[in-house]
């Protein structure tokens, strides 16, 4: 009976979450539909009616069949993946140094805070001059934007680790490598993944405007191209595609946080 009762509670909770998820999307769709209808009714804006949901959904099969969406996802995904990988490979060691070395933390605090507060897109003119291709420049912008959330989240996680753990490990003869792999990494996994999730959101925001200029592929380029050709239904379809992909990526990070960290709350 207890197992049956628990399963019923789980089903009710899952059903409520699913209902709220569907209801939220439905409300958003209805607001979008209403906005499109009001645009259509106004004689001054009726030629923008393709921004509405029905023309947008009708454009999806065409954009998929002619390769616009798959190619844009492939190009943007490559830039995003390489940029994030660089940010993670740099951000985690920097965060560990910030959390473990007081000298490094005091020396780097002002420079890091100064660099962190510079808008990533303001580096674009410099990146174009320094790097040979636009691909490299965009990857640099993504890395610069997303390295700070990873680094500071890692440092914050390490600051919460009980110093007694390291004393015990040293007394037991643990090497620096063992302390890193057996204490630091497991203890900061939650914060590290949370930082990566935040970095992904920042990188995704930077990626699209960075692709507006200079490149001939990617999600940002597809939006700019649709704007130039006045294909408003294609433009809105690409914007929706960006939202869907971003939602999937963020949800994947949230699942990873729950799965691979020792925290068992409902943080995400």
Please tell me whether residues 26 and 79 are part of one structural domain: no
pTM exceeding the 0.85 threshold for the entire prediction: no
Domain count, the chain: 2
Of the segments 86-90, 97-101, 118-122, which one has the largest average pLDDT value? 86-90
Domain boundary among 32, 50, 68: 50
Please tell me whether residues 161 and 234 are part of one structural domain: yes
Residue-number span of the structural domain to which 82 is assigned:
52-260
In a domain, 61, yes or no: yes
Question: Is the pLDDT at 265 greater than 70, yes or no?
Answer: no
Q: What is the 3-state secondary structure (H, E, C) of the chain?
A: CHHHHHHHHHHHHHHHHHHHHHHHHHHHHHHHHHHHHHHHHCCCCHHHHHHCHHHHHHHHHHHHHCCHHHHHHHHHHHHHHHHHHHHHHHHHHHHHHHHHCHHHHHHHHHHHHHHHCCCHHHHHHHHHHHCCCHHHHHHHHHHHHHHHHHHHHHHHHHHCCCHHHHHHHHHCCCCHHHHHHHHHHHHHHHHHHHHHHHHHHHHHHHHHHHCCCCCCCCHHHHHHHHHHCCCHHHHHHHHHHHHHHHHHHHHHHHHHHHHHCCCCCCCC
Query: What is the per-residue pLDDT across 16-60, written as a single tens digit (0 to 9) for each?
Result: 888 888 888 899 888 888 888 787 777 777 777 778 888 888 888
Please tell me whether residues 12 and 81 are part of one structural domain: no
Confidence of residue 262 (pLDDT cuts 50, 70, 90): low
Please tell me whether residues 195 and 213 are part of one structural domain: yes
Please tell me whether residues 31 and 104 are part of one structural domain: no
Query: What is the per-residue pLDDT across 230-244, written as a single tens digit (0 to 9) for each?
Result: 888 899 999 999 999
Please tell me whether residues 79 and 43 are part of one structural domain: no
């Amino acid at each position: 009976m207890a197992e049956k009762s628990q399963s019923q509670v789980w089903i009710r909770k899952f059903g409520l979450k699913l209902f709220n998820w569907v209801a939220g999307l439905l409300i958003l769709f209805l607001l979008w539909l209403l906005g499109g209808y009001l645009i259509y009714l106004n004689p001054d804006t009726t030629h923008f009616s393709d921004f509405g949901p029905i023309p947008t959904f009708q454009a999806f099969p065409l954009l998929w069949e002619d390769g616009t969406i798959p190619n844009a996802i492939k190009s943007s995904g490559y830039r995003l993946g390489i940029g994030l990988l660089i940010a993670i490979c740099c951000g985690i060691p920097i965060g560990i140094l910030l959390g473990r070395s007081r000298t490094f933390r005091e020396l780097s605090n002002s420079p890091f805070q100064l660099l962190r507060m510079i808008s990533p897109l303001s580096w674009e003119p410099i990146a174009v001059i320094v790097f040979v291709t636009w691909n490299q420049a965009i990857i640099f912008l993504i890395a610069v934007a997303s390295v700070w959330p990873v680094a500071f989240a890692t440092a914050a996680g390490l600051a919460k680790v009980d110093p007694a753990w390291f004393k015990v490990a040293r007394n037991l003869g643990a090497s620096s490598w063992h302390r890193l792999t057996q204490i630091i990494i497991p203890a900061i996994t939650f914060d590290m993944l949370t930082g990566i999730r935040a970095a992904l959101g920042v990188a995704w925001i930077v990626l699209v405007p960075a692709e507006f200029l200079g490149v001939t592929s990617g999600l940002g380029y597809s939006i700019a191209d649709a704007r130039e050709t006045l294909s408003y239904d294609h433009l809105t379809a690409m914007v929706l595609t960006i939202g869907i992909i971003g939602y999937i990526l963020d949800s994947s990070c949230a699942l990873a946080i729950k799965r691979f960290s020792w925290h068992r709350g409902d943080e995400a």
